Amino acid sequence: MKKPTGLAAAGIAVPVPLRLDDASMSDIAQALADGRVDATALAKAYLARIEAYDRGGPALNAVRALNPDALGIAGKLDGTKPSASQPLAGLPILVKDNIATGDKQPTTAGSLALEGAHARDDATIVELLRDAGAVILGKANLTEFSNMLAVDMPAGYSSLGGQVRNPYAPTLMDDRGIPLVPPGGSSAGSAVAVAAGLCAAAVGTETSGSLLYPASQNGLVTVKPTVGLVSRAGIVPIAHSQDTAGPMTRTVRDAAMMLNVLAAKDVLDPVTERQRRPADYTAGLTRDAMKGARIGVPSDPADPLNDPYFDKLPSRSAKVIADAIAVLEDLGAVIVRASMPTPGWIGGPGTTMAVLNRNPLSRFKGTVARPPVVFIYELKRDLDLYLRDWATDTEIKGIADIVAFNAAHAETALRFGQDHFLAASMTRGDLSEREYKSARAMDLLSAKTRGMDAYMNQHKLDAVLFPGSAGCGIAAKAGYPSVMVPAGLISGADDMDTPDYPLGITFAGRAWSEHKLLRLAYAYEQASNMRKAPPGLAGV
């Protein structure tokens, strides 16, 4: 007798009129609007998939904790259909476990030190999701403290939640138990959950690459917004200069729908007061949006020594990107190949600091790592403020308490060390240091003024194209937006064969240009249709 798999193995049968392993959020919303499914049945179906594929089967470990009130919330929405006032009515959404929820769910950032910690209220973006009718299904696993705890911490690992696995190659691990094909980080669980069909959409966060990297690795669309478009109030921080939250979805239209909800001014995050946005990010998503657009490709064959983004791509990755550029040209884009003036300045003198790598499992243990000065200095101030203003049900009151807790529970809490936190705990915590102010000024000079601004002005560009998440640093330091869209499949890691897994392309642009970037990404998406769902996760 054939052994049952997937949902059958979980002993759960929840009939829904869609294949949730690959259904878009738009299709699910339409099924709710048509009355073909209700919110309770939908929530039960996703919970069944989580049981079958996240807890069982390939054990993806993308969902750190489920919301015990999810079915109750869904039940109250059974008679409500998605509408202009509640566009997400009945849609099950996961949020990264550094985003506060003022309910029974803890908000932990994946840290054992914050196990059981709750929040005094919903983060602003969670409140917006609830107002839009979303069912908060649970919290997604992540790289602990958004990959700011330790040097060389694997993407998707947290001491509380364990290791997230990439759904395209979930069983391949190295001799340290680290995935050969990373899930990407730090928003690993958010990305894997969407890719594997464990939720309709998810919300992640980024300081530099934490949305773009996992989106690329899992074949997703994401928007890393302009800093100030989406409120950060109630989100466990790294660095306020660059922190933001953004949607993770299967399609560009879905990302635009989510951004419509998330992008709002907030008195709790004053930087949002300068926000500029259209009334509807889904407006103008057309197949001809690429025609005449000037797309910068920072790779000049006449200047090969100044090509950090494209020059060292593996052959299969290079082909995926070349094919993507050919699609853009076929769509009528003007491709401008020209090196950027300052990418070599990113991480240059005065913007990074020396931190000894004590990570016991790092291949580079004993060497000096160089994290950004801005991250290290803003971390202490910003995290201490979050713990003071938002955290409840915990004795942890500041970064010093986390460092002490981890040291006292090193066997379980410090598998990869806490070198970044040790460095951050030695700063004043008030951002008064000259080295911090200088580093922030240099970041803006290299990434914004003489970087993205100068490049786009000189060549009159509508967007800049990067392979995968390679351009995350220059856009993030400038505070500028990026949109990722799937571009194809690649394989191989650490000189070993692997199953195929995704690679995306990034469209980056000026502040508040999310609508333009979404339109360009949509045109490419519709022409290329490169997203492929992970194998072996079919079913309801």
Q: Nearest to residue 233, comparing CAs of 126, 129, 141?
A: 126
pLDDT value for 15: 64
pLDDT surpasses 60 at 2: no
Q: Give the CA distances from residue 24 to residues 220, 458, 484, 485, 533, in Å, rounded to whole numbers and listed in that order.
A: 11, 39, 16, 14, 11
Q: Give the catalytic positions in this structure.
A: 96, 186, 210
Whether residue 531 contacts residue 7, with contact meaning beta carbons closer than 8 Å, is answered with: no
pLDDT range class, residue 31, cuts 50, 70, 90: very high
pLDDT range class, residue 14, cuts 50, 70, 90: low
Could you give the domains of the chain?
Answer: 18-289+468-528 (3.90.1300.10)
pTM listed for this prediction: 0.96
Please state the φ and ψ torsions of residue 135, each to the nearest 5 degrees. Answer: -95, 110
pLDDT range class, residue 314, cuts 50, 70, 90: very high
Q: What is the mean pLDDT of residues 24-35?
A: 96
pLDDT value for 348: 77
pLDDT surpasses 50 at 8: no
Each residue's pLDDT tens digit, 358-404: 999 999 999 999 999 999 999 999 999 999 999 999 999 999 999 99
pLDDT surpasses 90 at 304: no
pLDDT value for 523: 98
pLDDT range class, residue 16, cuts 50, 70, 90: confident
And the tokens for 176? 């340290």
Q: Which helix (H) or strand (E) holds 535?
A: none
At residue 391, the 3 state secondary structure works out as strand
pLDDT range class, residue 494, cuts 50, 70, 90: confident
Packing angle, helices 514-528 and 315-330, rounded to 10: 100
pLDDT range class, residue 280, cuts 50, 70, 90: very high
Q: What is the mean pLDDT of residues 154-175?
A: 97
pLDDT value for 17: 81
Residues 6+ apart with CB under 8 A from 12: 44, 47, 48, 51, 52
